[in-house]
């Protein structure tokens, strides 16, 4: 059996393209998505493009029980985390929605990973964590200073990851 990767938000634009690459590289994948910003059709396209099947679990990343059960039953040894809301403008209008989905959802994922003994994670952050650039190009050692709720939620998760791993 090939190594299985658990992909949260795998039906979205970046997630579905990543799924194609993972399948073409010989990995098996389980996609966990609530389809709030995507459609199941994107995963059917992934299957058509690659000729390989995708295990799909519909669920919300904030639902601890469903998330942990899906991760455990998938047999995944690693997680790629794309699940999150992503509009700067919407985050300004609805900051609590962004903290709930992006921060609480990521916390629930880390808890599920811990419970299932999965320690490998790729997190999709954002350049918004750097705020207004001091210099270009932006390097990873650039000062962190998010200027909107979306960027702040990504920065909070980055900080959680630094402390948890």
Q: Residues with catalytic annotation?
A: 150
Q: Cα–Cα distance between 65 and 67 in angstroms, integer?
A: 5
Contact present, 61 and 83 (Cβ < 8 Å): yes
Residue 134: Cβ-neighbour burial (10 angstroms; 0-12, 13-18, 19+) = exposed
Q: Cα–Cα distance between 159 and 115 in angstroms, integer?
A: 20
């Amino acid at each position: 059996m090939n190594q299985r990767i658990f992909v949260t938000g795998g039906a979205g634009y970046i997630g579905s393209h990543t799924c194609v690459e993972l399948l073409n590289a010989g990995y098996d994948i389980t996609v966990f998505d609530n389809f709030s910003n995507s459609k199941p059709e994107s995963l059917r396209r992934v299957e058509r493009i690659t000729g390989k099947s995708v295990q799909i679990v519909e669920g919300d990343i904030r639902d601890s029980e469903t998330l942990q059960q899906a991760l455990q039953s998938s047999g995944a040894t690693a997680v790629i985390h794309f699940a999150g809301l992503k509009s700067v403008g919407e985050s300004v209008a609805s900051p609590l929605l962004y903290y709930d989905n992006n921060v609480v959802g990521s916390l629930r994922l880390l808890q599920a990973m811990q419970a299932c003994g999965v320690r490998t994670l790729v997190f999709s952050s954002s350049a918004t964590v750097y705020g207004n650039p001091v210099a270009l190009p932006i390097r990873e050692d650039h000062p962190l200073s998010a200027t909107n709720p979306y960027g702040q939620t990504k920065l909070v998760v980055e900080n959680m990851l630094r402390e948890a791993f």
